[in-house]
Amino acid sequence: MRKAIFLLAILALLTPGMVGCKPGTGGPVSELTYSAPLERGIRVGEELPGAPIRYVGLSGKEAEVLIAGERAFKQKGDSLDWHGSPAKSVELALSLRVLWYTEETLHVGGMAKVTVQDPNPVPGPITTSPMEYHAPVAYTISRGGRIPGTTIEYLRKTEKGAELSGVEGYPYRKLGDSIVWEGRLRDNVFLRLNVRTLFITEDSLHVGGMATIWIVP
């Protein structure tokens, strides 16, 4: 299953429009959307973090689940979807499948789409939460624009590499170098972005890597 989740991550990375904004413009962004592969275990009597999906237990050979209070009986491979707002100005869409289950735990896997409305990135310490998502990302940033969800700006191409503002210390990154940003997108949403430079031109910077998002209800 880990191999399947990895392949889902690669697919998401190669899918255009992964982030719901216009990268690199440097202007206001109305929302950011992240598509994250998700694999979780839900113990009997507990809910999936961020969604009203509760595992009741075995019912014969099926798994009994409460979805927003409604009973459902699931077998391996069955869908388990939900869409709602787990926190202020955050939308979560889950497209999951039942992987397997025991008397103690229901295992699910698939994709989570996290949309953060009206983000206002501020660098600083991170607050973690059980609502944690790891999303592959890829961006093209125009000269003078920022990496979406961060305060990092691409200034220009130099002999030392891409010159950036909004990073601590040495501002230059060559091909393959890492760029890391940590902070909050909103008071209740935190981001750690860890990307690498893929391509540098006079007009644009291309980066790709992983975004980790924590939602605090």
pLDDT of residue 27: 53
Q: Is the pLDDT of residue 161 over 50?
A: yes
pLDDT of residue 29: 78
**Structure confidence at residue 149 as a pLDDT band (50, 70, 90):** very high
Rounded-to-integer distance, Cα 214 and Cα 3, Å: 24
Chain mean position to CA 121: 15
Of residues 25 and 182, the one with the higher pLDDT is 182
- Cβ neighbours around 61 below 10 Å, total: 9
**Structure confidence at residue 8 as a pLDDT band (50, 70, 90):** very low
**Structure confidence at residue 28 as a pLDDT band (50, 70, 90):** low
Output the furthest CA–CA distance in the chain (Å, rounded).
Answer: 67
Rounded-to-integer distance, Cα 125 and Cα 192, Å: 10
Q: Is the pLDDT of residue 31 over 90?
A: yes
**Structure confidence at residue 23 as a pLDDT band (50, 70, 90):** very low
Q: Is the pLDDT of residue 169 over 70?
A: yes
